[in-house]
């Protein structure tokens, strides 16, 4: 334990001292870094540690009580003791020898990725300097919030496949420690050396957990034996990591691996494992899932049913379609066709087996609760056939009798999200400029955001742009969050126009700080040029909030600065653009 600098007896200055550190390392000074171990002392012939220990003991007790061996007593005893201690101290310091080396760590694996361009490395230093200051409080002024740009910087650096500069790794890992959302990008950028480093510092243990494979290198695709052993003997986190990594490579192998131990797993673990089948879910998984519908655990049954219903060709989806179709019909008896809904009267054993939860939550009618679950799990293409060959738009446009509309549409929304059906999503979203799109219509903002997620990026941006154009910014934050970065030109322009309108209306900019922050991060840097007109401090209108003009100018200033910074940042990372 006392592997500090060890003193060897200096018989000359250093030359002839015994080679290697002395083995005898006892002594009170052990932890100080100077130990009083030694071989034989040069002049007196008595072993040095004893001399030193004798001196320390005397010093502790006081010379009034004890006289060191061979030393003066009486009035001169303290001075004599200090003289002897000074000589011994210097002798030991001068005779220091290096300690034995502890076991060397295994070197970090090679990182074959290219180094960052110098300008990008400097930029990273600056972004990380701002790290601890993000929550520094106070007004943000016109300066950009650098930490908010780190995610983008990381994404771009990862896209170009650069290696992290090793000295930046501690700051990167610290940043990721505080912000879980940064972890995947940071760990990818940090690469093998980052993982190697994280293993040495308990503060960065999260890296081992969240890294694919939990930090230990996962067995390769062909290494069946190690896979099987890790699966049978590994910790829960390791097993989850193994299963999900295998699933993303070979879906069938992962499912078969899971099946080998399925019967003996605990219910909570079964649920987690089953969840990892979400990745690359396919028709081949049906038999296994179908079998899980009979699981002992209700949560496992429900998850299996949910996964099956996301497979439109599955038997469960078919059964649900039959049930759901029985509940919805077109009534042609009136002037115009109307959808009539006849919710199920009971939840039979078959329905329960297929994942329908019989007991409704408090405050909801049982029958509408069952209906929602049936429609949600039925393949959406069943409706076109059932309802006279109508398109999703036409079906959504049909009036619904007896106040069933919101129930039915909400269930279709959930189905469209689960089945990732862009056609239905588009139909359910409706026209962005429609009056009810902004109000508390049938489809909530959260559901809309989810529906938007199923659309292609361009369609998403166009819809949100239309929404903002009509309804302004108050409700746009959540919707903007699902749009692809950088924002497509029509969307970007819609946001900037809306901000401009908000300013002219005399609001304070911090009412829009959420959207402003998003704009800083997501607006296409090329838009910066279009914003110059907004930077000036306008003359104060009479009805405007006092001083708002100046704050707006500052907010736009920050927006433009941030956009320029992003443009510079991305250019630095683009090796082709480097001169």
Partner 1 sequence: MTVQGVRWTADQVLALAPDTASRRAGSRLGAAGPWSGAGSSGEGALWGLCKGSGSKPYRTVVDLADVSGPAYKCSCPSRKFPCKHALGLLLLWAGEEGAVPRAEVPEWAGQWIEGRRGRTERKKATVSPSGPSSGPADPEAARRRAERRAERVTAGASELEQRLADLLRGGLAAAEQSGYGLWEETAARMVDAQAQGLAARVRELGAVPGTGPGWPSRLLEECALLHLLDQGWLRRERLPEGLAATVRSRIGLPASADGPPVRDRWLVLAQYDTADARLTTRRIWLYGTQARRTSLLLSYGAAGRAPEPALPVGLALDAELSAYPGAGQARAALGEQFAPPASTAERPPGTTATLATARYGDALRDDPWLDSVPVTLDRVIPVPDGDSWQLADADEDAALPLTPAARSRPGLWRLVALSGGAPVKVFGECGHRGFTPLAAWPEGPGEVVPLC
CB neighbours of 570 closer than 8 A, spacing ≥ 6? 152, 156, 525
Give the integer Cα–Cα distance in Å for 232 and 45: 64
Considering only residues 9, 51, 81, 230, which one is a binding residue for partner 1 as defined by CB under 8 A? 81
* Contacts of the segment 315-318: beta carbons below 8 A, 24+ positions apart: 315/286, 315/290, 316/289, 316/290, 316/354, 316/355, 316/377, 317/377, 317/378, 317/379, 318/379
Q: Quick one: which segment of 160-168, 207-215, 329-337, 496-504 binds partner 1 (CB under 8 A)?
A: 160-168
Considering only residues 11, 30, 381, 524, which one is a binding residue for partner 1 as defined by CB under 8 A? 30
- Whole-angstrom CA distances from 106 to 93, 200, 227 are 33, 11, 24
Comparing CB distances to partner 1, the nearer of 281 and 567 is 567
Query: How would you classify residue 138: left for phi > 0, otherwise alpha for psi between -120 and 50, otherwise beta?
Result: left
CB of 184 to partner 1, least distance (A): 20
CB of 205 to partner 1, least distance (A): 14
Residue closest to 396 by CA, chosen among 379, 378, 381, 408: 408
CB of 100 to partner 1, least distance (A): 6
| Residues from 196 through 225 that contact partner 1 (CB under 8 A) | 196-197, 200-201
Q: Are 550 and 536 spatial neighbours (Cβ–Cβ below 8 Å)?
A: no
82 binds partner 1 (CB under 8 A): yes
| Residues from 60 through 79 that contact partner 1 (CB under 8 A) | 60-65, 77-79
Considering only residues 18, 70, 141, 313, which one is a binding residue for partner 1 as defined by CB under 8 A? 141
Residue closest to 154 by CA, chosen among 573, 534, 443: 573
478 binds partner 1 (CB under 8 A): no
Residue closest to 545 by CA, chosen among 505, 513, 515: 505
Q: Are 442 and 410 spatial neighbours (Cβ–Cβ below 8 Å)?
A: yes
Give the integer Cα–Cα distance in Å for 301 and 351: 12
Quickly tell me which residue has 């080679």 as its tokens.
19
338 binds partner 1 (CB under 8 A): no
Interface characters, 35-64, with partner 1 (x: CB under 8 A): -x---------------x--xx--xxxxxx
31 binds partner 1 (CB under 8 A): yes
Comparing CB distances to partner 1, the nearer of 86 and 446 is 86
577 binds partner 1 (CB under 8 A): no
| Residues from 528 through 567 that contact partner 1 (CB under 8 A) | 537, 554, 557-558, 560-562, 564-565
Comparing CB distances to partner 1, the nearer of 183 and 566 is 566
For residue 340, the SS3 value is: strand
Quickly tell me which residue has 């060709």 as its tokens.
313
86 binds partner 1 (CB under 8 A): yes
Considering only residues 23, 43, 45, 102, which one is a binding residue for partner 1 as defined by CB under 8 A? 102
Q: Quick one: which segment of 101-109, 228-236, 263-271, 348-356 binds partner 1 (CB under 8 A)?
A: 101-109
């Amino acid at each position: 334990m006392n592997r500090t600098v060890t003193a060897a007896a200096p018989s000359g200055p250093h030359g002839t001292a015994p080679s290697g550190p002395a083995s005898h390392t006892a002594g009170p000074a052990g932890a100080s870094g100077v130990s009083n171990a030694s071989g034989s002392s040069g002049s007196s012939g008595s072993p040095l540690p004893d001399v030193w220990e004798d001196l320390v003991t005397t010093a502790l007790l006081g010379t009034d009580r004890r006289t060191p061996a061979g030393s003066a007593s009486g009035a001169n005893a303290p001075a004599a003791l200090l003289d002897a201690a000074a000589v011994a101290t210097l002798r030991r310091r001068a005779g220091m020898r290096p300690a034995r080396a502890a076991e060397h760590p295994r070197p970090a694996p090679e990182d074959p990725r290219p180094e960052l361009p110098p300008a990008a490395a400097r930029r990273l230093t600056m972004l990380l300097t701002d790290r601890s200051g993000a929550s520094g409080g106070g007004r943000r002024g016109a300066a950009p919030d650098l930490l908010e740009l780190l995610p983008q910087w990381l994404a771009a650096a990862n896209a170009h496949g650069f290696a992290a500069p090793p000295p930046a790794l501690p700051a990167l890992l610290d940043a990721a420690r505080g912000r879980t959302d940064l972890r995947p990008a940071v760990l990818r950028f940090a690469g093998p050396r980052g993982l190697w480093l994280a293993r040495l510092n308990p503060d960065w243990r999260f890296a081992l957990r969240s890294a694919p494979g939990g930090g230990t290198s996962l067995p390769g695709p062909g290494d069946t034996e190690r896979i099987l052993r890790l699966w049978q003997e590994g910790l829960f986190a390791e097993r989850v990591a193994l299963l999900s990594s295998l699933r993303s490579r070979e879906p069938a192998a992962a499912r078969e691996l899971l099946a080998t131990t399925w019967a003996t797993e605990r219910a909570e673990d079964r649920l987690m494992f089953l969840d990892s089948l979400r990745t690359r879910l396919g028709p081949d998984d049906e038999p296994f899932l179908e079998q899980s519908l009979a699981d002992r655990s209700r949560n496992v049954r429900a998850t299996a049913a949910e996964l099956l219903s996301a497979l439109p060709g599955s038997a469960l989806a078919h059964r649900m379609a039959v049930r759901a179709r029985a509940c919805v019909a077109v009534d042609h008896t009136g002037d115009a066709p109307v959808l009539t809904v006849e919710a199920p009267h009971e939840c039979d054993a078959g329905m329960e087996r297929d994942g329908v939860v019989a007991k409704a939550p408090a405050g909801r009618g049982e029958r509408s609760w069952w209906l929602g679950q049936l429609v949600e799990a039925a393949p959406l293409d069943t409706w076109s056939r059932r309802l006279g060959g109508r398109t999703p738009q036409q079906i959504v446009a049909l009036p619904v009798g007896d106040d069933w509309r919101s129930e039915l549409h909400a269930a279709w929304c959930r189905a469209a999200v689960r089945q990732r059906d862009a056609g239905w999503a588009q139909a359910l979203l409706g026209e962005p400029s429609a009056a009810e799109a902004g109000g508390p219509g049938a489809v909530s903002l959260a559901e809309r955001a989810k529906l938007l997620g199923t659309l292609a990026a361009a369609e998403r941006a166009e819809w949100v742009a239309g929404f903002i154009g009509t309804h302004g910014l108050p409700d746009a934050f959540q919707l903007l969050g699902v749009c692809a970065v950088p924002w497509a030109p029509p969307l970007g322009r819609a946001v900037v126009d809306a901000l401009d309108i908000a300013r002219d209306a005399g609001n304070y900019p911090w009412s829009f700080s959420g959207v402003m922050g998003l704009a800083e991060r997501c607006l296409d840097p090329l838009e910066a040029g279009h914003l110059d007109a907004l930077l000036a401090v306008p003359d104060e209108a009479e009805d405007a909030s006092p001083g708002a003009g100046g704050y707006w100018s500052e907010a736009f200033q920050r927006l433009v600065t941030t956009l320029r910074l992003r443009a510079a940042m991305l250019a630095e990372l683009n090796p082709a653009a480097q001169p």
